[in-house]
Amino acid sequence: MLNSLEGFIAASDAVNEWIGRIVAWLTVGCVLTCFMVVLLRYGFSIGFPWMQELYVWQHAIVFMAGAGFTFLHRGHVNVDIAYTRFSPQTKAWIDILGTVLFLLPWMAVLAWTSSQFVLSSWQILEPSSQTNGMPGLFVLKSMIWVFCGVITLQGLALIARRTLFLAGREEHSPEDEGKAAYAPEGDT
């Protein structure tokens, strides 16, 4: 069973790593698109509503789809007033319970409450509300579910990591992860 958890962790990390690296390239696209919008508008008095929406969509996709990557690399903000003072075992239990009691239920609520919003958009293949805006707004709205999926996947991987640590696998210690997550390349 412990080897299955290792496999699950590796697969989850690989999925979020791959998604994160792919969507990171959208930041370049976002900057270039924004640059073109400004250049065309102020340099040539030309405006394309679809292009203005495009960089906003790219930005949204980076944050929504890349959230699991950020979670994997411990990039989300934590309010750890007392967490740093706890033993690794206590931290592991806090991570497990926090994920089970707060993160996973919140992702389920978000996925459920957004379902009508996303599904109705798909039913009509909703375009932008702007004249000459981006087609396929339904795809952008689906990013809510992608967000829920990648965060849930990484949350389950965190539970698996902490379970392995509590079972004696020291390489999954909350202490080691914290050092590795914030150390410069090559210093881990």
Could you tell me the sign of the dihedral formed by the alpha carbons of 22, 127, 53, 63, in that order?
A: negative
Output the pTM of the full model: 0.87
Pair of tokens at residue 177: 């992860």
Structural domain containing residue 177 = 2-74+86-182
Whether residue 188 lies inside any domain: the answer is no
Give pLDDT, residue 111. Answer: 97
Query: Residue 149: which of 67, 62, 75, 63 has the closest Cα?
Result: 67
Cα–Cα distance, 109 to 30 (Å, whole number): 30
Whether residue 187 lies inside any domain: the answer is no
Residue 142 dihedral angles phi and psi, to the nearest 5°: -65, -20
Q: Where are the beta strands (DSSP E) in 55-165?
A: none
Cα–Cα distance, 59 to 11 (Å, whole number): 26
How far the first Cα of the chain sits from its last, in Å, is: 28
Whether residue 79 lies inside any domain: the answer is no
Could you tell me the sign of the dihedral formed by the alpha carbons of 58, 64, 70, 72, in that order?
A: negative
Q: What is the pLDDT of residues 34-76, one digit of tens each?
A: 999 999 999 999 999 999 999 999 999 999 999 999 999 988 8
For the chain, the domain total comes to 1
Which of 57-71, 104-118, 172-186 is the least confident region? 172-186
Whether residue 80 lies inside any domain: the answer is no
Whether residue 144 lies inside any domain: the answer is yes
Whether residue 81 lies inside any domain: the answer is no
Question: Taking all residues of the chain, what is their mean pLDDT, rounded to a whole number?
Answer: 90
